[in-house]
Amino acid sequence: MISENNQGIRCKCGGKLKKGAGEVEFFGIDFGVKPVNICTKCGSEYLSQEVMEKIEAEIKKRGLFGLEKRGRVSKSGNSLVIRIPKEIVDSLGIKRDLPVLIYPSERSKLVVEVERK
């Protein structure tokens, strides 16, 4: 991350950063529109240190911090299976038969959205 004091620093793609505002979302929590530095070349958004700290505090408050777990893809019949660790199940209140939406967000990132009624 690039902090607000580092104006003039370039994006890792080599593009210039310009001040703007962007919709900020982490762990499915909507933090609203925050000031961000946007790369004019690739469109990457960089949050200021202040905004990052606010997000971190909120994530800690909600008990979502440190929930990353390592797992492994296994196989069941013709499908591949990824187990959801108990800590994440408990924290998000995921229940059997809840509908989920699964989609890739990057080449090596998979998003699983729990659809709540």
Find the binder of Zn ion among 6, 15, 54, 84 (CB under 5 A): 15
What 3-state class would DSSP assign to 94?
coil
Q: What track of x and - describes contact with Zn ion for positions 17 through 56 (by CB under 5 A)?
A: ----------------------x-xx-x------------
CB of 5 to Zn ion, least distance (A): 19
Strand segments (E) across the chain: 17-26, 29-39, 45-47, 73-76, 79-82, 100-106, 109-114
Looking at the Cβ atoms of 39 and 55, the one nearer to Zn ion is: 39
What 3-state class would DSSP assign to 49?
helix
Looking at the Cβ atoms of 68 and 106, the one nearer to Zn ion is: 106
Q: How far apart are CA 83 and CA 96, in angstroms?
A: 12
The count of residues interacting with Zn ion (CB under 5 A) is 7
Looking at the Cβ atoms of 19 and 41, the one nearer to Zn ion is: 41
Q: How far apart are CA 75 and CA 89, in angstroms?
A: 20
Residue ranges in contact with Zn ion by CB under 5 A: 11, 13, 15, 39, 41-42, 44
